[in-house]
Each structure stands twice: as structure tokens, then as C-alpha cells.
A = this chain, B = another copy of it.
Amino acid sequence: MSKKKENNIGLVETHYFNFSEPSNEFILESGVKLDPATIAYETYGKLNSKKTNAILIAHAFSGDAHAAGYHKGEKKPGWWDNMIGPGKAFDTEKYFIICSNVLGGCKGSSGPATINPKTKKAYGVDFPFVTIADMVNAQKLLIDHLGIKKLLSIAGGSMGGMQALQWMVSYPEAIRSAIPIATTAKHSPMQIAFNEVGRQAIMADPHWKEGNYYDDKRPLKGLSVARMVGHITYMSENSMDNKFGRKLKSNRGIEKFTADFEVEGYLQYRGDSFTRRFDPNSYLYITKAMDLFDAGQGKSLHESLKELKANVLVLAFKSDWLYPTAQSKEIVKACKMAGVNATFCEIDSNYGHDAFLLEIEKEAHLIKHFLQKILNEID
């Protein structure tokens, strides 16, 4: 078998789970009923007969259900393809992997761009507020729908890690393990501040029009600026130095205030390309859900974890200044205080917050062994 074939799960398709079927009514934490409500999801590998090998992958802020493999006609694989597949960290020859787009998102799940059945137009900011707990409650219904009583694991980086923490708090009986990566139990004021700048950039764009832009020009310039801020926070001083230094652009503009440095051109490119794949209102909803998230629900986190019997693997990356290691250690400390079996590892990396998507070898090694141990305990 060639290496390529061995690692490749090949073509995949997105599925849609509609909550509006009888008995699947979906009520948000706020009490608001979402009807109809849909979440997009993908699965990789095979669910075993006892349904004990399912792992839920939760995506980060700008991710989607397409975590691995290829969509027909596309050249780029899913966002965590280097971690999910035969022989990889999330080994599809052993595990049944599920990934769904978060509620409030714009990649197939219900969100502000969804048509409001009452008005026949996109909701815009009339879409109800969603929380990280709402996202997780929706995932739980999907898991129920797939006939899975207990997940082997719930894993995710950044906002995906927040969802893993929410599972630990909301559904402790439904998970055998959890892997929160490069995340926090609650945002610091600095994390809130960076998100707020992004939101203000979008809302400052006159095309935003209080969120009612779906029939018109979209607030793409604001979204692009928001994404640029994000990208800076995802990198490290070191990774920027290595990637760009003070190199000047080869096709430096003769116009004033165009990009002189490569780092400027890169940020503009990343900002622009993001506008082709993301809904500005989803940016507002999802960042707000992150900022308001508090895994401890106002109490100490360890009190919220008292029911948890699952094993927990907490991963952080040394150069990640957006979600610094100290925040991961807080999670580990709360686990220990709650009597939860938690392992912590800080991975040496220069990639900053992006490391959870890039530092594959070290990350895969730790996760592979952790999952195997959980699997062994069942057999």
C-alpha cells in the first residue's frame, strides 16, 4: 500500500441533521426555540457494533464539519486532515470520527445566514444568541440520533477545546475521555478585547447595515480587518520573524500605503480570502459565544467537574500567547481538585496558537497513545 493511499480517507460528503423531526425540537439556553434547526456534519471510519468507538471532533472558531478527506472536485482536504485518517492520531481504522459545524456558523448549520421561516429572509441579527453550551447540546442530539450512548472521546483545539470542556461539564456520563487543546475555561479580558476589535471592525463597515446585508453588498472590508487581527494573534513573534522578518515585498506598490513588507501582504491576503468563506454575522455570534463562555458557569470550575469520571488530556503550546499555557494549567488544576484523572502536556513549538493545526507529529503522538489506553479499558 502506498503511503499516500494509507493516509488518505478519500472522498467524503457533508450530511445534515434536521432537529425539526418530532421529538427533536431544539430549545436554546436562552429559552428560545429554534425551528427548523439543522446541523451539518461529516463522519469518517466505521462505527463498531457496540457503538463504543465514536470520537467527536469540535472545530475552532472559523472551522467547519469538513475536518478530513476531500470534497468532490476540491484539491484541499479538510482542516484537520493531517490528524484524521488511517494510522493517524484519530485513526479511522479504529475509530468512528464525527465532526459537526457549530450552531450559529455558516457552513451548513443554522446561523444568522439561515432563512427565517417567518420572514422568508435571512435571520441576520434576529437569529437568537447561541452559547457554547447550545453548540454542545446540538452535538449531543446528533450523537443520540446516531445511536451513540457514550463517546470514546471529545477533542478540539481553541473554541473546539471550549466545547470539549462544556461536554465535560454538561454530559459527564456521555464521554469516556476529553482532549481540550490550546484553550481556556473562560476568556481573559485581553482575549475578549481582540474579539471585540474584530466585531467593531465588522459593525463599522457601512455594508453591515445592522446585519441586514444578505440581499446586498456584504461588509467584507470590515470582516477582512477582523480576520487580520485574528491572524496576528494566531502566530507567535518567532514564527512571524521566521516567516517574514522585515523582507520587503517583491512587487512593492508604488501607491502610498500599499503593502511594503511581506507580512503586510500576507495579512491582506489572509483577510481577503477569509471573506470568501465566512459570514460576517457568524463572526459576531461565534466570537460572542466564546467571550461569554465560562466552563465553571460562574462557580469554580472544579465544582462543575465533580460528576466527571472521564480521563482528560490537556495540551498547550509553548509559544501560544493567545491561549497561554497558564490557562491550560488552570483546567488541569480544576480536574485534579475534582478528582478527575487529567494529564497535561505543554508541547514545545514556535507556531503560536496555530500550533494545534501545525505541530502534528508531537500532538499526534500524545493523542494516539492516550486514545489507545481509553480503547483498551473498554475491551
What is A's interface to B at a CB cutoff of 8 Å? 125, 129, 186-190, 192-194, 196-197, 199-201, 203-206, 221-222, 224-225, 228-229, 232, 235, 237, 240-241, 243-246, 256-257, 259-264, 267-268, 271, 284, 288, 291-292, 294, 321, 324
* A257 cross-chain contacts in B, Cβ below 8 A: 125, 199, 203, 284, 288
Cβ contact of A228, chosen from B196, B235, B256, B263, cutoff 8 A = B196
A246–B298 alpha-carbon span in the complex (Å): 11
Shortest C-beta distance, A87 to chain B (Å), equals 36
Q: Which of A199, A225, A261, A294 has the most CB of B within 10 A?
A: A225
Shortest C-beta distance, A3 to chain B (Å), equals 35
* A268 cross-chain contacts in B, Cβ below 8 A: 196, 200
A374–B197 alpha-carbon span in the complex (Å): 45
> Which residue of chain B has the shortest Cβ distance to A326 in the bound complex?
B237
A241 B197 Cβ-Cβ under 8 A? no
A150–B62 alpha-carbon span in the complex (Å): 57
A186 B224 Cβ-Cβ under 8 A? no
* A192 cross-chain contacts in B, Cβ below 8 A: 246, 261, 263-264
A189 B229 Cβ-Cβ under 8 A? no
Cβ contact of A197, chosen from B243, B256, B259, B267, cutoff 8 A = B267
B193 A291 Cβ-Cβ under 8 A? no
A190 B232 Cβ-Cβ under 8 A? yes
> Which residue of chain B has the shortest Cβ distance to A245 in the bound complex?
B189
Beyond A125-B256, A189-B245, A257-B203, is A264–B228 a contact (Cβ under 8 Å)? Answer: no
A204–B194 alpha-carbon span in the complex (Å): 18
> Which residue of chain B has the shortest Cβ distance to A227 in the bound complex?
B197
A225–B199 alpha-carbon span in the complex (Å): 10
* A284 cross-chain contacts in B, Cβ below 8 A: 256-257
Q: With A189-B244, A197-B228, A204-B224 given, name 20 new contacts (CB 8 A).
A: A187-B246, A189-B243, A189-B246, A190-B235, A190-B237, A192-B246, A192-B261, A192-B263, A192-B264, A193-B264, A196-B259, A196-B268, A200-B224, A201-B201, A201-B204, A204-B205, A204-B221, A206-B206, A246-B294, A321-B321
